[in-house]
A and B are shown apart, each in its own frame.
Chain A
Amino acid sequence: MSIKRKPNLSATIALLPTWFVAVVVFIGTMAWSIRLSFTNSTLFPSSTYVGLAQYSKLFSSAKWLASLQNVLIFGVLYVAGCLLLGFLLAAALDRKIRFESAFRTIFLYPYAMSFVVTGLIWQWMLNPMLGIQASVRSLGWESFVLDWVVNRDMAIYALVLAGVWQGAGLVMVIALAGMRGIEAEQWKAARIDGIPVWRIYVSIILPQLGPALAAAGMLLAMGVIKTYDIVVAMTNGGPGNATEVPAKFIMDNLFGRQNLGLATAGATVLVLGVIIAVAPFRYAMHMRDKAKGAA
């Protein structure tokens, strides 16, 4: 049974600006850019409608298709990599080691950096002429090769490497906080039963960290969609299309190529993609809540 509450007038008025911003700025501009994607706009918005022409152009563009594939590869590996490494780091710190807070700071530090900085650092390190490859070779191992950034097949994994290096610290902190929330009794009980430590982590600790890790994963996944700066800093989409991502494709067409129509079509597809990905999840949550309510 729900209690019917009278709408509070002053609260409604106080919220008006927020409503205005939500409708005009967020929904309005979104609608506007969707509208633009059906026009032949180039540098400036135009009102000549061309139907789905921009979309057919978009999906016949090898660059766009490559960007979708790249963001998928990057996204899956980046989120999975961060979660795995973050959890392992947290588990290691949880073993009551010495200098824990120093390690915590070191591991979290990369996350405080901007992706541009991360990207540049890794670009230098992986650049075969300057970084790791060059220094190992100068030590005498002449045939050593680490050219991921300039290698067409490996460049995307170089991005994943840099991304995981940056993002794992966040997962570590969240997971560690979760682990500290787990009662010591469980540890004692498990010890008495003689269960090995790794087994405790996998079968007892990990399931209880579910919500914390889900939150961390969600934060990372949101970053994947807008991946832009790390790509620009590290590879600028190259070599060829090897590390092109949708956000960069959209930005390039918005500005460098004066191609508003195609850029907004790309942006629309991206929004649609997010909705399609999130909708079943939301639906499942809704149904579960409903089922709970009925019980």
Chain B
Amino acid sequence: MKTMMKLFLAGVAFAGLFASAHAEDKPTIEIMSSWTSGGEAAALNVIKTEFEKRGGVWKDSSIAGFGAADAAFQNRIVAGDAPGAKQGVIGLAAADFINQGLFNPIDDVAAAGKWADALPKSIHDLISYDGKIYLAPTGAHGESWLFYSKEAFEKAGISQEPKTWDELFADLDKLKAAGMVPVAWGGQPWQQTKVFNMILLSQVGIDGFLKIYVDKDKSPASVEGVKKTLEILGKLRGYVDAGAAGRNWNDATAMLITAKAGVQFMGDWAKGEFTVAGKEPGKDYGCMIVPESKGMVYIADALWFPKTGKAETDKAQKLLAEVVMDPAVQVEFALKKGSVPMRADVDKSKLDACAQKGVELMSAGAIVPDQAIVLTPQQVGALDDFVDEYWSGGSSDAGAAAENFFAIFE
């Protein structure tokens, strides 16, 4: 009921939105983000430092939890009190706001910075709506990663990265036998969905993945792929600890850092946690694309720029867009966050071994979009429900579940 009232009041607030045009002051901006874990905060700080160096005033409104930040943002928008910038993903989630005319385009910044040349075409297409550029990409993340603790692998006597799922399960058995938690499982629906997707890609390949999520194809081959995916996912249930339900991804990463657990399925932002803990890729921990996968699921972060009606914020938004796409910032940000720079023309030599692998796959085009890019938020929610229900329900009938999978597109 309270929400309704806010929606109701939005109209009133909107009138105020166009009325105000105050004296031009220092470019001031309020940034709303959900980047609160160690690595994420360090990455955000890279942007902040450069932004302030160029004369901007930075106001942080960080909210832990992606969904919580989104909800708060919608509330603010609807109440007519939008923050100056919001960290979000590139994809359909932003489309509704842009279609309603709530965001500022940043065409001139993009033109001046020659974004069209610097960005991969697919990303450039995704941040453009009706020929205008609205989002400033910060970095791309690979989501098909399997991280493992070298110390745990050593203790369990595993000397090689597993090449197939069967080999992986054999290794997990060894970890279990050595008294460790084999899989550090993040028990929130969104994390489980990401594991589902990385397994799916390994089972159906790039074309099959796109067929399912983009074309909504329900051919026998697709159903079979989903079924095989669910079987592998189901098998993983036997390798997680009792405290997995509801666990945050960074808490799961901490289990690897302390060598309490062997492996974690996660996006490459987990590297940020390792970095903050002083762990080095290749030495303390390893990263590999999940077994049998010929490519990588990716997601791209960006900054969104809502209309606030304040001149100093408009100025700050342009400055911020410039800063975010600065080649040096892109690299520095990627190092802290564990992501891959969006610009193709940056110095990649500084990137760690894991990021190099990601860049390779990305430039080879062996990537498929995360569900948030190609599905509506309603469908993403339905997919989360589907995977969570299967994972927690303990259903052993992957075939029947695979048939139900396609209902998420309805």
Contact = CB atoms under 8 A, between A and B. Distances in A.
Contacts of B246: 150, 235-236, 238
Interface stretch (A27-35, A78-86, A161-169, A279-287): A27-35
B377 A259 contact: yes
A27 to B, nearest CB: 11
A258 interface: yes
Interface string B135-179: 000000000000000000000000000000000000000000000
A147 B381 contact: no
Contacts of B5: 25, 29
A150 B1 contact: no
B292 interface: no
A255 B243 contact: no
Nearest to A251: B71
Given A127-B243, A128-B243, A238-B388, A43 B1 contact: no
Contacts of A147: 242
A258 B74 CA distance: 9
Contacts of B241: 129
A199 interface: no
A194 interface: no
Interface in A86-136: 127-130
Contacts of B4: 29-30, 32-33
B8 interface: yes
A143 to B, nearest CB: 13
A150 B100 CA distance: 41
A240 B100 contact: no
Given A241-B389, A258-B377, A44 B100 contact: yes
A191 interface: no
B96 interface: yes
Task: From A25, A43, A147, A152, name the one whose CB has the most chain B CB atoms within 10 angstroms.
Answer: A43
Contacts of A44: 96, 100
A33 B1 contact: yes
B378 A256 contact: no
A189 interface: no
A28 B8 CA distance: 10
A29 B389 contact: no
Contacts of A45: 7
B393 interface: yes
Given A42-B376, A256-B381, A149 B245 contact: yes
A252 interface: yes
A229 to B, nearest CB: 13
A257 interface: yes
Contact of B242 (A30, A62, A150, A242): A150
Interface residues of A, number: 39
B97 A29 contact: no
B96 A43 contact: yes
A29 B378 CA distance: 24
A168 B243 CA distance: 29
B240 to A, nearest CB: 10
* Size category, B interface: 35 or more
B7 to A, nearest CB: 7
Interface string B212-252: 00000000000000000000000000000111111000000
Contacts, number: 97
B131 interface: no
A257 B381 CA distance: 6
B394 interface: yes
A33 to B, nearest CB: 5
A135 B391 CA distance: 28
Interface in A1-37: 25-26, 28-30, 32-33
Contacts of B1: 26, 29-30, 33, 267
A240 B388 contact: yes
A45 B1 CA distance: 14
Contacts of A251: 71
B187 A128 contact: no
B322 interface: no
A152 B96 CA distance: 36
A217 interface: no
A51 B195 CA distance: 38
Contact of B67 (A149, A241, A256, A267): A256
A42 B391 CA distance: 28
A42 B7 contact: no
B356 interface: no
A242 B8 contact: no
Interface string B245-261: 11000000000000000
Interface string A246-265: 00000111111111001000
Contacts of B284: none
Give the 9 A-B residue pairs with the shortest CB-CB distance, closest first: A129-B243, A255-B71, A240-B392, A239-B392, A257-B381, A150-B245, A43-B96, A29-B4, A128-B242
Interface of A: 25-26, 28-30, 32-33, 42-45, 62-63, 127-130, 147, 149-150, 152, 235-236, 238-242, 251-259, 262, 267
Interface of B: 1, 3-5, 7-8, 67, 70-71, 74-75, 93, 96-97, 100, 187-189, 241-246, 376-378, 380-381, 385, 388-389, 391-394
27 contacts: A30-B4, A42-B96, A44-B100, A63-B385, A127-B243, A129-B241, A152-B393, A235-B245, A238-B187, A238-B189, A238-B246, A238-B388, A238-B392, A240-B392, A240-B393, A252-B381, A254-B71, A255-B70, A255-B74, A256-B70, A256-B71, A256-B377, A258-B74, A258-B93, A258-B376, A258-B378, A259-B378
